[in-house]
Structure 1
């Protein structure tokens, strides 16, 4: 009879086990429980061990390079001649090392998308996307955001408590996107679930991707027969094929939802908890755009983006990159690169040189729309509930992580219970949905509306007063 190992050894998986953070030859895994428990800590371990570019293992222990340096991320993103977006170049694909049911497939398998194209083909596809996005009525976009924000708030306003992740942030972006895509609102909840599952790279990612694709295919067929004033119709009118429109809608839906959910949740968290913001709020200098800028630096909506594929043997930060190697843009790691941010406590209001939306020819084309949804939604929420405060201690907040993103699990808040708004009323008292929406304050002008505004009492006055009462001795 063999002697059992000590209890702590029995619970520790061996190095070759997928649950362990180290794979063959001691290369760190970018997936699994250890990596997901502390992704930021993992990035710093990799930086300490390897510098600006580190070898990592993806699902199935497939090798890749994670770019950790800010300058190196820009180098990769801005030089498609060296680092292509065409995933068919990946050595793992060419050697049949990626199984058809791999959770990587929805994100890296080649598709007729601008994100997988280079050169003239990229210009053609991306041009159709950017031209179509520019056709949106920005005032109409704000009306959609305001209306859905009011609806979501009305669902919990009378309770005096809410979880702003599950009851607000996880629903608002997809509800707005259903309008931009010309879809019924009831599509939203199931698409939210499928889109998030797809981004996590779980065992059900393939099935979730199939659901999204089937939904988008039906939508394209309807818009081909009966076009409207929406993104699918404009993409079809721009000359894209049905398959090209379908894939771009899938990309926009999945990427826009996950990134905007995370942006809304993390911005609300920082506004409610960060002492730097409290100090600025009490001084009256803090604006919501400032908060968004800081979040995009400290907690980018996507931690990493796959991928780029080396067009030939090359060097990056002293590393020899072979032709066909995959590289991942480490957006979160690059944003805290000590070479450009030696002091992470220094505010970065108005500084938009972060990597949150990538850079170069493949920089996110919908970043203004995503930021506009977050800004208008948070603004409306804070006006409706000006005494909003965190219902738990900050150190009780928890995140869930996957290989591409870090998601705030919940954000419990409390506030004075309020009655739902009368039906047909917008966030601005006395204005119906059929009436023109008043423009936002000058400091809130973004891609939502490029117009002036009438002054109104800043939401942060009430929030600051509430914080001061909490700090006052009893």
Structure 2
């Protein structure tokens, strides 16, 4: 049983506790910090985010569902954040890019949310799942062909990261040649390098050009379906939702693939169950989604009025963080974390409620088919370092493997008959040349600043 929440009157207001969701302790062992908070406060804990701003971290599985499914009490609209209203979140604050309001489906509520999300979900549902898996198989094989002869690879940089973006560029209707360039631009952006702004501009310009092309020559792809949707989205709205889908799929699916491959390579019982048919690959993915969700927390929700949650007195304008990883480990629903949860999709990894991830089935298909292809092509793949040498990086919203070095029997046999996709390609030339891209970088930011650091890697 979890520790009962203390009486609200005995709980110090947010801002008083020393527990920060940033800094060395949080980055070194986020799950350890979550359990420390659970033991001290129960299912909802007062914490500090960057700049020592107060927030509530939702640790309980039940409480996470309550917040996610109750937009009338906990809004997704960041304009309700009291600290922002009071001027405590300046333009250069680390959270500003993630909390600056924009007319995008995940930051609006009510009729506007239904309009924008409806266009996204209706368009995603038009995909043929078998067609998606064909794309995944093709690109997975091409990536494997790129390192097959060497007998060694880094399955993060050489496989888990590029595969989702390569597939998604096809789904949005881009030519093959755009895939490797967008992979590199997305990597650059999310790592927050000194060229991240230029990479952001490259992605924006690429998507704007794509919308123009698809308006002139539509196809059977996500961009064309957004253009023709009955809600009549503006070009800006289409570009922003293309960006949202591409970047969210890139980071979360890459983490899911890397985390699953790490488990296959380090847990002999897990691998034996998988290879022996005692567990299917979809079951394995769900186990990873329980134990190591691609996002550890989601920022954020904002209380629409004074309310109570998990025994805590939440005030209007307070910010809340959905603790996906903590909720998945809630002892009230998982008293023994060592027991498998095959076939159970009640985890929080894709959130819940009206803002639940609309592309989760596509993410599962990319991970499932990609990993299956890799293990079939490299049956003797093994970790090339000890498990203790694997390194991680954590931020407010995610924890990810830096590298996953492997070794296998080299082969010169290609199954694709086409040129391999290079695992690491030079940054796209338009990012470094003057002209339209430079102008895009220099003009005032009017959109898309929030997502450049949405899953920012420190």
Q: 1:340 to 1:186 in 2, by over 3 A?
A: same
Who is 1:320 aligned against?
Answer: 313
Write out aligned runs for 1:247-396 (5 A).
247-281=240-274, 283-396=276-389
Give the CA deviation at 1:91: 1.1
Give the CA deviation at 1:320: 1.1
Measure, in 2, the Cα distance between the counterparts of 1:227 and 1:107: 32
TM-score by length of 1: 0.80
Give the CA deviation at 1:75: 0.4
Give the CA deviation at 1:379: 0.7
1:169–1:261 Cα contact (<8 Å) kept:
yes
Who is 1:411 aligned against?
Answer: 404
Write out aligned runs for 1:197-208 (5 A).
none
2:17–2:47 Cα contact (<8 Å) kept:
no
Measure, in 2, the Cα distance between the counterparts of 1:423 and 1:288: 23
Q: Which has the higher contact order (CA 8 A, sep 6+)?
A: 2
Write out aligned runs for 1:96-245 (5 A).
96-196=87-187, 209-238=200-229, 239-245=232-238
2:138–2:416 Cα contact (<8 Å) kept:
no
Give the CA deviation at 1:363: 0.8
Is the aligned partner of 1:42 residue 2:39? no
Write out aligned runs for 1:455-466 (5 A).
none
Is the aligned partner of 1:62 residue 2:50? no
**Structure exhibiting the larger radius of gyration computed from Cα positions:** 1
Q: C-alpha offsets along residues 372-425 of structure 1, whole Å, 9 cap, x if unaligned? A: 001111111111111111122222211111111111111111111111315537
Who is 1:14 aligned against?
Answer: none
Give the CA deviation at 1:196: 4.8
1:196–1:258 Cα contact (<8 Å) kept:
no
SS at match of 2:48: strand
SS at match of 1:407: strand
Measure, in 1, the Cα distance between the counterparts of 2:56 and 2:390: 31
Q: 1:382 to 1:353 in 2, by over 3 A?
A: same
Q: 1:264 to 1:338 in 2, by over 3 A?
A: same
Measure, in 2, the Cα distance between the counterparts of 1:202 and 1:30: 22
SS at match of 1:342: coil
Give the CA deviation at 1:70: 0.5
Query: RMSD of the TM alignment (CA)?
Result: 2.4
Q: 1:216 to 1:241 in 2, by over 3 A?
A: same
Q: Which runs of 5+ in 1 are unaligned?
A: 1-22, 427-474
Give the CA deviation at 1:51: 1.4
Q: 1:346 to 1:66 in 2, by over 3 A?
A: same
Q: 1:24 to 1:309 in 2, by over 3 A?
A: closer
2:297–2:324 Cα contact (<8 Å) kept:
yes
Write out aligned runs for 1:18-97 (5 A).
25-97=16-88
Q: 1:197 to 1:330 in 2, by over 3 A?
A: farther
2:274–2:281 Cα contact (<8 Å) kept:
no
State which drifts further: 233-242 or 256-265: 233-242
Q: What count of residue pairs does the alignment treat as equivalent?
A: 405
Q: C-alpha offsets along residues 23-80 of structure 1, whole Å, 9 cap, x if unaligned? A: 9644322123332121111211221222111122222222211111100000000111
Q: Which runs of 5+ in 2 are unaligned?
A: 1-13, 420-458
